[in-house]
């Protein structure tokens, strides 16, 4: 496959700024190698460069939007059209994944009977967690400011429950299996994108992990290679609801820079 950046060193997909292409000087081992490009398909990746100020503006507007997100525990029962859930899952499924395996399945539930079964099973587990001290004192202390308990009404009230399953391995239609790689990391990133997509469209969610969650595989009749990872009630936030008055860590608390300049 012709790959001009490597072939000629004159021009290439990244040289849209009019700068001299730097490929030859920067990389002694270009990717893909001509050999690799001959064996697997590659396509040009072209992304318009924007100036630093434009990037700053975009970053700031994304930060402000992201900072406006809150996990909510009281949803309106107002319906949400199915295509919005599909759009959020489509966005989430763009997540990078180990060996591009996309080892996830999203199960979107609006059926009231199924939601009830999920609520019942989740509350049964949470009763053990909260009332029979399956969560130890330190854990309960950490949760105190959130004030969560074993009541999970939102699982029935929210118009959608989206259950994200990780595929521990790939199960092919002929019954054969293939390993997946970095499953937790991949599915975690997809979950993050899902949360962002839901927020960005104006809806709310809560990453909910009734623990243990194995019952979800049975209730939703999922195959043996799938394990529940996290569940997302999705809907409009209930008007007038309260959320904990949490502060986010300052940048200095979460960022360490090893600067070379």
**By CB under 6 A, residue 208 contacts ligand IYR:** yes
* Residue 228 burial (CB count, 10 A): 22
Rounded to whole angstroms, the Cα distance separating 211 from 128 reads: 10
- Minimum Å distance from CB 135 to ligand IYR? 7
Cβ(119)–Cβ(152) below 8 Å: yes
**By CB under 6 A, residue 209 contacts ligand IYR:** yes
Q: Which residue's Cβ lies closest to ligand IYR? A: 148
Long-range contacts of 61-67 (CB under 8 A, 24+ apart): 65/199, 65/200, 66/196, 66/199, 67/248
Stretch that binds ligand IYR, among 84-92, 94-102, 140-148, 241-249 (CB under 6 A): 140-148
- Minimum Å distance from CB 212 to ligand IYR? 10
User: 210, 233, 235, 237: which one contacts ligand IYR (CB under 6 A)?
Assistant: 210
Query: Which CB, 101 or 227, lies closer to ligand IYR?
Result: 227
**3-state class (DSSP) for residue 166:** strand
Rounded to whole angstroms, the Cα distance separating 251 from 242 reads: 26
Short-list 159, 4, 169, 17, CA closest to 82: 159
**144-183 positions binding ligand IYR, by CB under 6 A:** 146, 148
* Residue 16 burial (CB count, 10 A): 12
**By CB under 6 A, residue 116 contacts ligand IYR:** no
- Minimum Å distance from CB 13 to ligand IYR? 43
**3-state class (DSSP) for residue 112:** helix
Stretch that binds ligand IYR, among 12-20, 45-53, 54-62, 142-150 (CB under 6 A): 142-150
Residues that bind ligand IYR (CB under 6 A): 126, 129, 143, 146, 148, 208-211
């Amino acid at each position: 496959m012709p790959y001009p950046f490597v072939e000629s060193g004159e021009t290439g997909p990244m040289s849209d700024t009019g700068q001299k292409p730097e490929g030859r000087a920067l990389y002694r081992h270009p990717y893909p190698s001509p050999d690799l490009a001959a064996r697997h398909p590659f396509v040009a990746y072209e992304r318009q460069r924007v100036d630093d100020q434009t990037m700053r503006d975009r970053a700031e507007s994304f930060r402000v939007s992201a900072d406006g997100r809150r996990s909510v525990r009281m949803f309106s029962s107002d319906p949400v059209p199915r295509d919005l859930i599909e759009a959020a899952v489509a966005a989430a499924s763009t997540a990078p994944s180990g060996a591009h395996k996309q080892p996830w399945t999203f199960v979107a539930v609006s059926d009231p009977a199924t939601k009830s079964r999920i609520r019942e099973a989740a509350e049964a587990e949470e009763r053990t967690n909260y009332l029979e001290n399956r969560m130890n004192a330190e854990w309960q202390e950490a949760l105190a400011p959130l004030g969560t308990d074993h009541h999970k009404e939102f699982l029935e009230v929210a118009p959608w429950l989206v259950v994200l399953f990780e595929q521990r391995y790939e199960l092919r239609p002929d019954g054969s299996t293939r390993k997946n790689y970095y499953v937790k990391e991949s599915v975690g990133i997809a979950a993050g994108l899902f949360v962002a997509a839901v927020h960005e469209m104006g809806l709310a969610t809560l990453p909910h992990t009734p623990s243990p969650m194995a019952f979800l595989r049975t209730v939703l009749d999922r195959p043996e290679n799938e394990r529940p990872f996290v569940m997302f009630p999705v809907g409009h936030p209930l008007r007038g609801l309260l959320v904990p008055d949490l502060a986010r860590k300052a940048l200095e608390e979460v960022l360490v820079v090893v600067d070379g300049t």
